[in-house]
Amino acid sequence: MGESGEPGNVRAPDRPGAPAARRRAVRDAHRLHAARALCRTNPLRREGPDAPARGTGQPGVQAPRGRTVMRNAHSPLSVTFKIASRCNLNCSYCYVYNKLDDSWRRQPAMISDEVIDASVAALRRHCAKSGQRLLRIVFHGGEPLLVGHERFDCWCRKLRSLDDSVEVRLALQTNGVLIDDKWAELFAAHKIVVGISIDGTPDVHDAQRVDHKGRGSYSGVLRGVEALRRNAVGFSLLSVISLGSDPVATHRHLLSLGPAQIEYLFPDQTHDTIGALRARHGPTPGADFLIPIFEQWWGSGDMKVRVGPFMAIVRAILGGVCEVDFIGNNPLGYLFVEPDGAIEGLDVLRTCGPGLARTGMNVRNHDFSDMEDHCKFHYQVIFEGLSLPRGCRTCRERSTCAGGYLPHRFASDGGFDHPSAWCADILRLFDHLRSRLGVPPAETLLRREALDSLSVDTEGVPA
């Protein structure tokens, strides 16, 4: 290898045994190249208060290297608070109100001070046990802004001051309609990362995101976005793919609103429901929508606005670890607290059937780490990770996609032991991005191996 270390400079010696030597040299070059390309995205090498400790051997500490994140009931967690169980909108695809689970009807309209206090105590205990120094909390609903400015401000203060040794980062997901200047000032004061749900141009958005009288909500969302911009509060956009709509027009419109990030989501479908969509929109409607947007993003030469799911897929293809929930089959590492204090697993499982998010636990009388004794399924999903679905075991993307998002694997016949209902779309998307990056599946494995071996090399060496 030349001193520059670039793969293009590799020349294997011309002598007997040359093919093996050449293979080794190419492999070494790949390793160095992969390390350079990924050192900024590999969370195993990240800095900061939540960086995994190296080789401490303490229970509850994340694994210092390798792709498998070793978690247990005392591992660091993120928590999403469903602070309101009602919503000012009634979007047609909503998994809370318009799918199979109606448990929201039995929830109080909003979380109480008492549940917040019990949650703060439970989080304090969890941080003490896990050694967690960075805690991510998300406010969600229903529509979280229905709780009003004063309560929200008070709860943010309580959560942010739960322990002097723990940095608490707050985020919020809203439909945006209620955002005004006072909300924007609160978001700025508490450094809240704001996500707004919007599905595209006014006509596309208003076709599904409607109020309880069936009226579109786009104009209200736009007023909310303008309030954020007036107050210099950054925001990201969460957009459920509108199958059959114009992807490039959607993307251009969302960009024009000035977000820091856009995240496109596959609609929540299971194997029980996706057939009707395919009959209407063709065999890979999700990929049909996403690929033209990827081409826009990739070809623009300006990646200032981060666009999902491309960031995560590119990182996976390049051999990096994905800390996302829709590919990779890693333990989720997050759970939910409902308005009545119930501790629940992944809320989108409501798409699959009634009661599937339930654990039987409550912040009033349980620690988060009690989940192992109360609900083995959610314990596995959150802390251990599930097995790869049987149908994925011979797939070329089994180590990157690894089954896709958990709710999308569901079929009433066989539960979650299926490839994603969006499998065909995911494969097309991976194939397209791989062709743009010039990285076949075998090279992804080489790059990952390179990163792992570099982690071994630096084990025990002070940072």
Residues that bind ligand SF4 (CB under 6 A): 391-392, 395, 397-398, 401-404, 419-420, 423, 426-427
Query: In terms of CB distance, is 155 or 430 closer to ligand SF4?
Result: 430
Query: In terms of CB distance, is 76 or 419 closer to ligand SF4?
Result: 419
Query: In terms of CB distance, is 256 or 394 closer to ligand SF4?
Result: 394
Residue 328: CB minimum distance to ligand SF4, A? 10
Burial class (CB in 10 A: 0-12, 13-18, 19+), 438: exposed
The CA distance from 337 to 121, in Å, is 13
Query: In terms of CB distance, is 22 or 396 closer to ligand SF4?
Result: 396
Judge contact between 191 and 169, C-beta under 8 A. Answer: yes
Query: In terms of CB distance, is 131 or 415 closer to ligand SF4?
Result: 415
What is the residue-wise DSSP string for 440-461?
Answer: -HHHHHHHHHHHHHHHHHHTT-
Residue 363: CB minimum distance to ligand SF4, A? 34
Sequence length of the chain is: 463
Closest CA relative to residue 344, chosen from 361, 329, 323: 361
Query: In terms of CB distance, is 253 or 398 closer to ligand SF4?
Result: 398
The CA distance from 457 to 33, in Å, is 16
Total Cβ atoms within 10 A of residue 53? 11
Residue 129: CB minimum distance to ligand SF4, A? 34
Query: In terms of CB distance, is 158 or 432 closer to ligand SF4?
Result: 432
Query: In terms of CB distance, is 232 or 442 closer to ligand SF4?
Result: 442
Give residues with Cβ within 8 angstroms of 329, minimum separation 6: 385, 386, 388, 402, 403
CA distances from 324 to 311, 329, 457 (A): 10, 9, 27
The CA distance from 277 to 265, in Å, is 15
Query: In terms of CB distance, is 45 or 409 closer to ligand SF4?
Result: 409
Residue 398: CB minimum distance to ligand SF4, A? 5
Element (H, E) at 193: strand 193-197
- For the sheet with 358-362, list strands across it: 306-308, 261-265, 235-240, 193-197, 167-174, 134-140, 78-82, 334-337, 342-344, 358-362
Residue 205: CB minimum distance to ligand SF4, A? 29
Judge contact between 81 and 168, C-beta under 8 A. Answer: no
Residue 421: CB minimum distance to ligand SF4, A? 9
Judge contact between 332 and 382, C-beta under 8 A. Answer: yes
Residue 316: CB minimum distance to ligand SF4, A? 11
Residue 432: CB minimum distance to ligand SF4, A? 13
Query: In terms of CB distance, is 23 or 393 closer to ligand SF4?
Result: 393
What is the residue-wise DSSP string for 230-262?
Answer: HTT--EEEEEE--TTS-HHHHHHHHHHT--SEE
Residue 400: CB minimum distance to ligand SF4, A? 8
Burial class (CB in 10 A: 0-12, 13-18, 19+), 164: exposed
Residue 406: CB minimum distance to ligand SF4, A? 11
Residue 388: CB minimum distance to ligand SF4, A? 7
Element (H, E) at 123: helix 113-130
The CA distance from 208 to 242, in Å, is 9
The CA distance from 372 to 351, in Å, is 24
Query: In terms of CB distance, is 284 or 420 closer to ligand SF4?
Result: 420
Query: In terms of CB distance, is 309 or 404 closer to ligand SF4?
Result: 404
Residue 285: CB minimum distance to ligand SF4, A? 16
